[in-house]
Amino acid sequence: MIRIALIAVVVAGLAIDAYVHFHLASAFAHNRTSTLSEADLFRVEAVVAVIAAVALLLRPRRFTAAFAFLVAAGGFAAVLVYRYVDIGAFGPIPRMYDPYWVPAEKLLSVVGEGVAAVAALALVWLFSIRSSTADPTARAGRLDRPALR
């Protein structure tokens, strides 16, 4: 039951992440380098969030929860870094410093990503505990067998 609730929270947070990034992408098309625009990066974030959510729904395992954590935590960190630090442009990445919490979707995105990251980390921990305590006798039996050479 806890696992299902955590999966639902992660998927909802990633869905918010994807919606906000798809919705706001066109507003940032003007901010670009010769290679990439901020809109391109927003669309990539949205697609990766959808992939992580679908993967977690279809195959709820430790590695899909870890992938969802990386996507959500990465989005969360990016919003906060570009909100508070003016990194400037580097390589193909345009300058994305935005010191304001407008539009309102930006705040919605950071909350969704943060909650999804925490829930995904809890899922990774839950799956880790479950796999280590699943069948201790089977694990012990595999360890006691001599290795084939």
How confident is residue 3, by pLDDT bands cut at 50, 70 and 90?
very high
> For the chain, what is the domain count?
1
Mean pLDDT over 122-145 rounds to 72
pTM for the model stands at 0.85
In angstroms, what CA-CA distances link 105 with 62, 128, 131? 30, 34, 38
d(CA 40, CA 124): 30
pLDDT in tens, 72-130: 999 999 999 999 999 999 999 999 999 998 889 999 999 999 999 999 999 999 999 98
- Domain assignment present for 6: yes
- Domain assignment present for 74: yes
How confident is residue 133, by pLDDT bands cut at 50, 70 and 90?
confident
Q: How many helices (H) and strands (E) does the chain have?
A: 5, 0
- Domain assignment present for 149: no
pLDDT in tens, 18-65: 999 999 999 999 999 989 999 999 999 999 999 999 999 999 999 999
64: containing domain: 2-144
Tell me the HSE value of 28 on the side-chain side, using a 13 A CA sphere: 25
pLDDT of 145 over the 80 cut: no
Q: Name, in order, each residue with C-beta under 8 angstroms of 109's C-beta and a sequence gap of 6 or more.
A: 16, 17, 20, 21, 75, 79
